[in-house]
Amino acid sequence: MKIPAQKYLKDNGVDLKRVAKRYAFIFFKMNLFIDQFALKGKVVVNRRMLAEAIHDYYVDTIRVKDFHGIEYTGNSSRKKYSKGQKRK
C-alpha cells in the first residue's frame, strides 16, 4: 500500500508548512525565470509535477538520513560522505 507523501512527511516530523513554503518559493522563481526570458506562452510550470518533485526530495532525504544514521543533512554531511573522493 502506498502512503501519500504528505502523510509520510508528517509522520516523520517534517513541517508541512516548510514544504509548502519551499514549493511557493520554487514556483515563484520558475515563473520569474519564464518572465525574464520572455517564455510566457511557450513554457508552463506543471504544478503537480513540481509538488511531486518537492515531496520526493523530502522523502529521499528522510530515507538517506535513516539509512546512514544521521540526524542532519548539509554541507558538513556532504563533506563526510565525499571524503577521499576527488571533485572535478
Average pLDDT of 29-35?
A: 98
The pTM assigned to this predicted structure is 0.76
Task: For residue 42, give the nearest of 51, 54, 33, 29 by alpha carbon.
Answer: 33
Q: Which residues contact 31 (CB under 8 A, 6 or more apart)?
A: 45
Examine the pLDDT at 12 and tell me if it is beyond 90: yes
Q: Count CA atoms closer than 13 A to 26's CA, side-chain side.
A: 18
Domain range list for the chain: 5-70
